[in-house]
Amino acid sequence: MNVANLQLEGLIMAVAAVNNALVHKGLLTVDDIDLALHKVEAGLTGEERNYEDMSPSNRDALCFPVRLLRMANNAQGEADIPPFSELARMVGATKAPYNDQR
């Protein structure tokens, strides 16, 4: 595996842990974090350059971290968030095709 991928995996899980801590400290709700991440994803998928200049697989790659963080946020329990591999599987299972995919 590419070292950069491992670094991104660590960074994404660190952000997920911070989000989890913010919820458990009562500073933000799961819904607050989900809305913020939803807005980011909508911005990424709504940008014309991303839609017209990128392949569907590149758009998925661009949105993957945000989608994984949303999964981690919505799947968090009292103690921990699910492991990266489980969250990645969940992202893949819920991904809808783009309008230009057949």
Cβ neighbourhood burial of 77 (10 Å; 0-12, 13-18, 19+)? exposed
Q: Spell out the domain ranges in the chain.
A: 3-94
* Separation CA 76–CA 101 (nearest Å): 32
Per-residue confidence (pLDDT) for residue 54, from 0 to 100:
82
Amino acid identity of residue 47, one-letter, is E
For 101, the token pair is 């995919």
Q: What is the pTM of this model?
A: 0.84
3-state secondary structure of 12: helix
- pLDDT (tens digit per residue) in 35-94: 999 999 998 888 776 667 788 888 888 899 999 999 999 987 766 889 999 999 999 998
Residue 81 DSSP code: P
